């Protein structure tokens, strides 16, 4: 049953202006203003840096092992979002996983179209490796478009013959820019924040005429064999639900150790409201458990992890 906090937040989301009718600049400002409601706790250390031409920021909770790193790629439909909009999530992930989180920006559409974000994500990952990061203690994470970008990064690294990270975490990932999943229609009345019309516009602005089934834009259409363990979290109240389900099915068929967590009644990237929602804190704790298990070198199998989550 939904918590009272979730019910209140859903009501607020449903009362917000329709995103499909707003300009890019309005939506960018709304995301930045929304993030300001959740300040980063004072005990979280923040260190802005440059990874070449890409702005990044280390976000490190007390006691984190800085030899373990999570590269966090923000969401926002490839046209909005920033370190500022995802800094609080980065701090929550650092605290839960016991790792240092590197939050990264990337160039945004429509000013910078595909594959600019993939190029920027690659640049940051290579910067980490040059700086001494151990790929065996590296993870890539992303939400929404950032979840798709995290997978595109893995595909690009594999194609280049470069070391893959130890794991990837995808939160409500957008992995099919052709938007062929049944949930785009079936969940339209339940989703309080996304619509197919909104995503169609974001896809057009990002792709700039490229094929929406290009794997580096839509990893659902790529060959997933050889990827590291994946954790995918998605809510039942999302038009993107089928993106996650189909991604998990395809990854498992390719032999990838894949954990899919479908959270009842959750909306798109509920994780960003951890200061308000107990369900968000629970989901982030599960992310921390997953990453700690991977980094210890003895992760439980995906089926066992899912069974444990259902029992708990």
Active site residues: 144, 238, 268
Q: Where do the DSSP E strands lie in 133-185?
A: 138-143, 167-171
3-state secondary structure of 236: coil
Distance CA 226, CA 160 (A): 13
Q: Which long-range contacts (CB under 8 A, 24 or more apart) does 215-218 make?
A: 215/152, 215/155, 216/114, 216/115, 216/118, 216/152, 216/155, 216/156, 217/114, 217/115, 217/148, 217/152, 217/177, 218/148, 218/175, 218/176, 218/177, 218/178
Distance CA 94, CA 142 (A): 14
- Beta strands 138-143 and 45-51, pairing class: unpaired
Residues 6+ apart with CB under 8 A from 267: 10, 13, 191, 192, 193, 235, 237, 238
Q: Within 183-255, where are the H helices?
A: 183-186, 196-207, 241-253
Q: Which residues pair with 63 in a beta bridge?
A: none
């Amino acid at each position: 049953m939904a918590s009272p906090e979730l019910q209140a937040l859903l009501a607020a989301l449903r009362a917000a202006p329709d995103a499909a009718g707003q300009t890019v600049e309005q939506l960018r400002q709304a995301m930045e203003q929304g993030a300001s409601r959740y300040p980063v706790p004072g005990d979280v250390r923040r260190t802005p840096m440059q990874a070449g031409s890409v702005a990044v920021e280390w976000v490190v909770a007390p006691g984190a092992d800085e030899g373990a790193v999570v590269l966090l790629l923000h969401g926002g439909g490839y046209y909005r979002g920033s370190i500022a909009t995802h800094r609080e999530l980065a701090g929550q992930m650092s605290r839960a996983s016991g790792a240092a989180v590197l939050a990264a920006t990337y160039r945004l559409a429509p000013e910078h179209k595909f594959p600019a974000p993939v190029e920027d994500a690659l640049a940051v990952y290579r910067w980490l490796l040059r700086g001494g990061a151990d790929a065996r203690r590296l993870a890539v994470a992303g939400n929404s478009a950032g979840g798709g970008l995290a997978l595109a990064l893995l595909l690009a690294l594999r194609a280049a013959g470069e070391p893959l990270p130890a794991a990837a975490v995808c939160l409500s990932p957008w992995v099919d820019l052709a938007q062929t999943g049944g949930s785009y229609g079936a969940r339209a009345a339940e989703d309080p924040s996304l619509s197919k019309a909104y995503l169609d516009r974001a896809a057009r602005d990002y792709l700039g005429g490229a094929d929406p089934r290009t794997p580096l834009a839509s990893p659902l259409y790529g060959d997933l064999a050889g990827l590291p363990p994946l954790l995918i979290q998605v809510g039942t109240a999302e038009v993107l639900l089928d993106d996650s389900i189909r991604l998990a099915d395809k990854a498992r068929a390719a032999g990838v150790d894949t954990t899919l967590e479908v959270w009842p009644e959750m909306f798109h990237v509920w994780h960003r409201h951890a200061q308000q929602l107990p369900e968000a804190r629970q989901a982030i704790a599960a992310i921390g458990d997953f990453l700690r298990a991977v980094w210890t070198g003895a992760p439980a199998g995906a089926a066992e992890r899912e069974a444990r989550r259902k029992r708990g």
